[in-house]
Structure 1
Amino acid sequence: MLEEGSGSGASSNGSTPEPPEPFAPNFTVRFTDRVNKDGDSVRFTLQVCQNGLTIQLLEREFEDFEYLEHCVVTNRASQGIIIPPLPQRSAIDPHTAEVQSRQQMGKDSRKLIADEFHKDCRQLQKYIELLLSHPVLGKDEKLDSFLTNKDPPPRTKVKKSLLSRLSDSLDARKAAYPDSEEFFQKERDWVAKYRPAVVESREAFNKIIYAELRIVHQLEEISTALKLSSCPSDQVHHKRFNMVNYLFADFVDTIKNHVDDSANKDDSSLGFMLTLWSHYIESEETMLLGRTCLMVDYQQCNRALDKAKPNRKEVAEKAKKEAEAAFEDCSDVARHEIKRFQRLRSNEMMAAIDEYASLQLASARNTLAAIGKSLDQIKSMSF
C-alpha cells in the first residue's frame, strides 16, 4: 500500500518508459510586423511555414491564444506535462496604459509609453514555438487547427466556474503532502525555493530597465533645454558658448540613444527570459500539484479498499486500479518532462545571461567612445 511520505509501496520507477526520440515540429511560425489595432481589438499577423515554404498568413487576436491555451490545458493528455505559459496581455485601454507608464517612468510622470506590440509579437511567437517543439503538445489537433485554418477559433471568453475555483482551492491544500518518491520531493523543494527567487530577480531587473527609461527621458529634457538656450551669435563669447552648448547637446543625445538602445536590448535578452521563466516555473508547480493530487487520491483509494465491506470490494478495487493507473501514467510523463524542462531552462537562461553580459560590455565601450570623441572635439576648439 502507498502511504503518505513513505518511499515504499507503488512507485513509478518500474514503469518509466525509454526516452522518446527527438521531436521535429510540424510547422514554424513567425509573427510579422503587421499589427492592427481597432479599439480594444489587436490583430497579429502570423506567417506559418512547413518544410521551408509559407503555407498560410493568419490573423489572430489575443482571445484566440487564450482559447488555444484553454484547449491545451484541459486536454487529458496533458497530465504530467509542464504547459508553456501564455504571456500576459498588454495594456490597450488608456487607463491601464497610464498606470503602467507611471510604474515605469515614475508616479509624477505624464509621459505615456507607446504601444509595444513588438514585445507582444515576440512573447506570443515564443509561446507558439514552445508548444510546437513539445513532443506531446506539438501533435495536438487544436494547435494544428489553430495554425492551418484561415478562420480563427470561436472567440468566447474563457472563465473558470465557481466549482472549478473551489476545486482548485481544495487541491492547493494537498501541496503540503510529502511525496512518495525522492525525485519528485526534491523537485518540489527546488520549485519552492526557485520560484520566489526568479520572481524577485525579474522584479529587480525590471526596476533597472525602468530606471534606464527614466534616465533616457531626463536626458531628452536636458538636450532640449540645451538646444533652446543658445544665444544670439552677435558676440564672440556668444558664439563660443553656442559651440560648446552644441557639442554638449550632441553628446547628451548620443548618450541618450545609447542608454535607450541598451535598455531595449537588455529587456529583450535577460529581461525576456526572466519574465518567461518566472511564469514557466508556475506551470511546473501546477503540474507537480496535479501529480500530488493524484497521489493523494491513490492513497485514499488504497485505504478505502482496506476498509471496504465484501459487497463493496469490487468497486473499491476498480477505483484503486484507476487511481493507480492515473498516478503512474502522470509520474512517467512528469519524470521525462521535468528533465526536459530543466535542460531547456538551463540552456536558455545561460544563453540570456551570456547575451546580457555581451550587451553590457558593448554598451560600456560605446559610452566610453562617445565620451572620448566629445572630449577630443572640445580640445580641438579654438577660443
Structure 2
Amino acid sequence: MITDVSKDGDILTFAITSQKFYSSGGVCVFRTYEDFEWLQQNFFSQENVPGLQGVIFPPLPPKALPSPLNTPSKSLKQLGFLALGHDWQSYCKALEFYLQQVATHPILSKCKALDSFLTKSESPGKQRGRKGILNRLSQAVEGMRKESHRDVDDFFQKERHKNTNRAALSKAATEKILDVVLTEQKLSLACGHFSTCLHLCVNQDDEAAVAFSKICLKLSDIVEAVMRNFEKVANNNISTLGMGLDLEARYEEAEKEMLFRRTCKLIELETVKKNTEKAKANKRDVMEEVQKASEKEFSLISSVAKQEIERFHSSRVTVLRSFLVGWCEKQLDTAKECAKLYSQYLDACKNLFSE
C-alpha cells in the first residue's frame, strides 16, 4: 500500500507499506519511479524462468514529471487520468495496483527483486538492471511485418484479432470519459465564477435593492451547490470508471506486447526449420538439435501464454466490474445528496418569494 507521496523538484518519492504473510509487522520503504523501473526490468530479465516471454507483464504507469514546465496539457497527454486527482492520488493508486498485480502473479511474485523492492531500505534503483531478451524483441526493426504474420495456432490468431479491437475500443472509451471529466471540471469552475459574481451584486445599503440582494445570495448558494456536485461527479468518474478504463487500456497493450513476443519466436522457429531443410548433410544433425530446442521453447512459451490469457480475461472482467460497481454506487450516493440539497433550496426559495 502506498501511504504517502512527497515531491522534491521533479522527483516523486512514494512511501510503500507491505506485510509478509508470515509476519505480524509491516515494512515501510521509500521508492522513486526509477525504483519501479528497476523492478520491472528485473521481471523482464529473468533468464532462468522457462516460458517468460509468454507472461503478460502488469503494465507500469508512465513516468510522472511534476515539473513547473510540465503544463497540464502535457501531463494529460502523458498520463491521462493519472494526471488528475488531488496530490497525485490517482497516480499512487495506479502504482499500488501495479504492485498488487505483480505480488499476486504466479510467476513474477517469485522474483527475488520484488522482495528486495518491498523490504530493503536502500533504493534498488541505484543498481543497474540487466537488459533481457524481451527488450531486444520489443525493439525489432521489422515489427509491423511480424505483427501481421499468420499464426499457426487459431487460438492465438483469434486472440490477436480480438486484442487489436479491444485495445482500440478501450483507448477510445478512456479518451471519451476523460473528455467528460474535463468538461465537468470546466463547468464546476464556471459555476464558481458565477457564484462569486452573484455575491458582487449584493447591495445592503440601498433599501430598494435588499430584495434583489436576497435573491442573488440564495441563487449564489444554489449555483455553489451545483459547482460542488460537478466536482463530486468528476472525482467519482476519475477514481472509479476512469481508473478502470485506463487500466484496461494499458493491460490490453501489455497483452499485445506478449502476443508480439510470441509471434517473434514463431518467426524464429520457422526460420530455423527452413535453415534445417537447407542444411548440408554434415550440419543437419546440429541444425535438427537447434530446431528441437526452438520447438520446445516455443511450445513452452505458448503454454504459458495460454494460461496467462485465460488468467487475464478472468481478472480483467472482475477488476472492471468492481470499478463499474464502485462508479455506480458513488454516483448514486452523490445524486441522492444533491437531490436532497436541491429540495432544501427549493423550499427556501418558496419561502423567500412568499414573504
Q: TM-score higher than 0.5 here?
A: yes
Residue 188 of structure 1 and its aligned partner are, at CA, apart by 0.7
Name the counterpart of 2:181.
209
The more displaced of 54-63 and 123-132 is 54-63
Does the C-alpha gap of structure 1 residues 185 and 113 become closer, same or farther in structure 2, counting only changes over 3 Å?
A: closer
Aligned residues: 344
Name the counterpart of 2:56.
82
Query: 1:43–1:59: 8 Å Cα contact kept in structure 2?
Result: yes
Name the counterpart of 2:283.
312
Query: 2:160–2:256: 8 Å Cα contact kept in structure 1?
Result: yes
Aligned with residue 225 of structure 1, among 197, 208, 212: 197
Equivalent position SS for 2:190: helix
Does the C-alpha gap of structure 1 residues 160 and 214 become closer, same or farther in structure 2, counting only changes over 3 Å?
A: farther
Equivalent position SS for 1:54: coil
Runs of 5+ consecutive residues of structure 2 not aligned to the other structure: 78-82
TM-score, normalised by the number of residues in structure 2 = 0.89
The more displaced of 327-336 and 168-177 is 168-177
Query: 2:11–2:65: 8 Å Cα contact kept in structure 1?
Result: no
Query: 1:35–1:45: 8 Å Cα contact kept in structure 2?
Result: yes
Query: 1:172–1:289: 8 Å Cα contact kept in structure 2?
Result: no
Matching of residue 38 in structure 1 with residue 8 in structure 2: yes
Query: 2:41–2:131: 8 Å Cα contact kept in structure 1?
Result: no
Name the counterpart of 2:80.
none
Aligned with residue 50 of structure 1, among 6, 9, 20: 20
Amino acid in structure 1 at the alignment position of 2:73: V
Task: Give the whole-Å Cα distance in 2 for the aligned partners of 1:291 and 1:101.
Answer: 33
Matching of residue 200 in structure 1 with residue 172 in structure 2: yes
Amino acid in structure 1 at the alignment position of 2:64: S
The more displaced of 88-97 and 274-283 is 88-97
Paired residues for 1:1-40 under 5 Å:
30-32=1-3, 34-40=4-10
Name the counterpart of 1:67.
38
Amino acid in structure 2 at the alignment position of 1:216: S
The more displaced of 259-268 and 347-356 is 347-356
Aligned with residue 305 of structure 2, among 334, 339, 347: 334
Equivalent position SS for 2:150: coil
Paired residues for 1:62-211 under 5 Å:
62-76=33-47, 77=49, 78-100=52-74, 116-155=87-126, 164=136, 167-211=139-183
Amino acid in structure 2 at the alignment position of 1:121: C
Amino acid in structure 1 at the alignment position of 2:119: T
Structure with the higher helix share, 1 or 2: 2
Paired residues for 1:239-278 under 5 Å:
239-278=210-249
Equivalent position SS for 2:60: coil
Residue 118 of structure 1 and its aligned partner are, at CA, apart by 1.3
Task: Give the whole-Å Cα distance in 1 for the aligned partners of 2:186 and 2:126.
Answer: 38
Spell out, residue by residue over 1:34-71, the C-alpha distance to the aligned partner (whole angstroms, 9 max, x if none): 32211111111111112363331111111111111111
Residue 102 of structure 1 and its aligned partner are, at CA, apart by 8.8
CA RMSD of aligned residues (A): 2.6
Task: Give the whole-Å Cα distance in 2 for the aligned partners of 1:95 and 1:31.
Answer: 26
Does the C-alpha gap of structure 1 residues 48 and 211 become closer, same or farther in structure 2, counting only changes over 3 Å?
A: same
Runs of 5+ consecutive residues of structure 1 not aligned to the other structure: 1-29, 104-111
Aligned with residue 373 of structure 1, among 325, 341, 344: 344
Residue 376 of structure 1 and its aligned partner are, at CA, apart by 0.6
Residue 255 of structure 1 and its aligned partner are, at CA, apart by 1.6
Residue 114 of structure 1 and its aligned partner are, at CA, apart by 8.2
Does the C-alpha gap of structure 1 residues 114 and 120 become closer, same or farther in structure 2, counting only changes over 3 Å?
A: closer
Does the C-alpha gap of structure 1 residues 101 and 329 become closer, same or farther in structure 2, counting only changes over 3 Å?
A: closer
Equivalent position SS for 1:37: strand
Query: 2:59–2:251: 8 Å Cα contact kept in structure 1?
Result: yes
Task: Give the whole-Å Cα distance in 1 for the aligned partners of 2:209 and 2:331.
Answer: 39
Residue 100 of structure 1 and its aligned partner are, at CA, apart by 4.2
Amino acid in structure 2 at the alignment position of 1:377: A
Task: Give the whole-Å Cα distance in 2 for the aligned partners of 1:241 and 1:335.
Answer: 71
Name the counterpart of 1:287.
258
TM-score, normalised by the number of residues in structure 1 = 0.83
Query: 1:63–1:157: 8 Å Cα contact kept in structure 2?
Result: no
Spell out, residue by residue over 1:295-340, the C-alpha distance to the aligned partner (whole angstroms, 9 max, x if none): 1211221222122111111221121012111101101101110000
Spell out, residue by residue over 1:119-157, the C-alpha distance to the aligned partner (whole angstroms, 9 max, x if none): 221111000000001011111111111111111113378
